[in-house]
Structure 1
Amino acid sequence: MALRTQKASASRWTHDVFLSFKGADTCKGIVSYLYHELQHVQGIRTFKDDREIEKGTTISPELLSAIENSHIAVVGLSPNYASFTWCLEELTKILQCMKGKGTVLPIFYNVDPSNVRKHTGSFAEHFTNHGERFREDIGKVKRWKDALTKVANISGFNPQTHESERKLIEDVVKWACSKVHRTFTLLDSTELVGNKFRCEQVDFLLASDADDRDQDEWKSELEKLQKIPKSTIFDALKISYDGLDEMNKRIFLDIAHFHKGKDKEEVIEILDTYCLYGLIGVDALIQKSLLTMEKSQFHISYINVEMHDLVQQMALEIVHQKSCTGEPGERVHLCHPEDIFQVFINNTGTSQIEA
């Protein structure tokens, strides 16, 4: 039975989590996928502030409001963090608003917490500059230093000590879920009805087509379905696909073409090598009922990634429709025998082809 996490009770917060990252020298990919996992997969209301540059030392009223109305915060600290005065203002505001124990999680990117705490290393240079610039408002500089000392004393995560970026994201998500008091509940009724409706459509169409058909006609119909799914079936199944972001669409198509029936851990590892964040993607596809997990018949400890044959046919047809106006040799995937034959005969293959 499908389960999803959901807040146990209504919250007075507009945002559950405030993400504060200075994008130039922290991993933007991690921020994007952390936001995706929190907001779209776990359903945790998340505000992401990952601006590259902010002029001046003040922060906008909108940003102040977002901080004031957030329950917890994740802050990315890096060697150049203290060079941006708006970062320091933002951090000061976060710590002022979130005084409860365990409501702020620092992530130390390529920086030792002791340098942050004692304002040494690159932080010393930045504060020398701030001291000269704000010599008439030394109290502001002191507030920034106090904020850095306070956040550095909080137990956080160091990406360099994690075995992978995927594990780091998992740990941050677990921390956030524990702070916003998650409980488990059944999928909401609209999703269950939607999935049931799509399944009933497929079952009804296949059953009705079987009436009054002799063996040869039915065999012909099956061959037709295997090549191009009927439009109604295709449209019904494609609802879930269209709701995916571009990264998860790529993961879905790759699994349909290359990885159906493989061990889940192997699939995730392969996807991670292409910076696709496989764990997040696979979980999202399971939520959309586009993938299922089944125990391997040959390895008792393996869990295989599977999908319904019609879902796989839909994936193949999506690729075919996307590129049917161009040359087969310029496609990422070649599915139909006649296209493969044409590419070999005409020697029109390109580096675009993956399989």
Structure 2
Amino acid sequence: MQFTMALLTNKGAASSFTQRCRYDVFLSFRGEDTRNGFTSNLNGILCHNAISTFMDDELPRGEEISTELLKAIESSRISIIVFFKNYASSTWCLDELVKILDCKKNGQIVLPIFYKVDPSKVCSQRGKFGDALAKYEEKFKDNMNKVQRWRAALNEVGHLSGWHFKNDHPQFRFIQEIFEVISSAKSNRTQVFIVEYLVGIDSHVEEISRHLDIESNDVRMLVIHGLPGIGKTTITKAIFNLIAYRFEGSSFLEDVRENSSSKDGIFQLQETLYSEILGGRNLKVHGVSKRINVIKEMLHHKRILLVLDDVDKFVQVENLLGRCNWFASGTRIIITTREEKLLSILREDCHLTYYNYRVKELDEHESHELFCQHAFKRKKPMKDYLELVNQFIQYTKGLPLALKVISADLYGRNIHCWKSALDKYKRIPNPYIQEILKISYDGLDQTQRDIFLDIACFLKGFYKNVVVDILQSCKFYDPYYDIEKLIDKSLIVVSKDDKLLIHDLIQQMGLEIAQQESEGLKKHRRLLLYEDAPEVLTGNTGSDEIRGITMCSSHAIESWKDEKAQIFENS
């Protein structure tokens, strides 16, 4: 009988940030059903092998689940739920189940055991499960939300893959298999810190799980890419925390781009990779190439999970993994990047099964929830703030970084302050958000920076071939390559109808850079405010090369009817 974990394959699986766990296992069961048989035998083998287990049979039972029991669930790394035919006849057990699935959203491993009961009956609440819930609907008719929570919990856990014990199974072998999975999860405790308030994570986990397919024995690489601040690292940490224990070794290397900027940084990344997988052992050789050979020699026989976070050059992958052709069967490699070009390089140069996954912006509902969680510490806004919340969501355009930074800053502030902040953000970008978004811009050469600023200031929404023609007519060489570089760096995207688009916050970053550039030079290169055009052109306060003028006021257009918004070279 093969056990298939459902942590990744079910919608609703989410990730965690590391907590200090008091227990390895929380064992949930209906005492009268299995305490003196299966459950006690399972508890015995776990305790005998030094797996700390909380078994709730010593706590007094009442109508409501106790605070002590809730704390025990929260402080457990794994919850095992033993479903017997009479499980649902205990409201205590159903409350436990709701709490366990709530903890699952924060990274707790949940392992259901269907003991002589069909999982489909748990899921659909048929048979004795249905009878029990029907009685509760009558008993709690003034509190139907409670019953609905129980139904939803049974439906969710019934869809999780777990162990199904039937009468013809040898019980000892069944318990031994459960112990082996628990032991494996305990021995691999590698976890990475992850932020709270994970919103919109379910769909990502579901899709990425299909690409990873950790039951498959081939070697797979998944590249997660998208805009800066879109949540690539957060999603990857969620996946890592969910599946790391399924591998013989795992390593999460953060900030590869930044840490690879020096030889010492590369050495430290190599050291971390080696040490995390081999349990604290150190590399005792010097030189990047020699260290790669040692890493390959020591790890090529292990089924491992590797994450390289924030990669922007293929050489960074080579410095850590060599040619990517030495991994053991079942190994999974996840790379996050904002560089679109890296996708094709990895696909061609790494000889393994390859997938890529683009992270998209949050939708309006998800943006609303994430913003409110940080601004109000709850999912819905205070009534008087609703319109302002909607305006901030419109401003951030689904970018998680901006939603989190701005909403956290607004927490506890009054409406007047919110209105003032919104007005300021529309004029001046948040400096922290600006810094993150600007990393890709800083990696451009001067020509590419000029083209990006021209597109941000004047050409957003133009067809790509029109932009090429406009820039080329300004005595540029063919700008096609440089536009592709902007696409590679996720600064601009090409729509299905071949228009150049920019996320509003990245465009705002470009406008701010252009404005600062003009102030620094004390001469205008890009006239972004229609009021400036007459003054600059008549007062000769433009630079030697004015690159463009925006004319967007009906009054200005009437006054300057022979002019239009244009890109030109001042020759």
TM-score scaled by length of structure 1: 0.45
User: Which protein has greater RCO, CA pairs closer than 8 Å, 6+ apart?
Assistant: 1
Higher-Rg member (1/2): 2
TM-score scaled by length of structure 2: 0.29
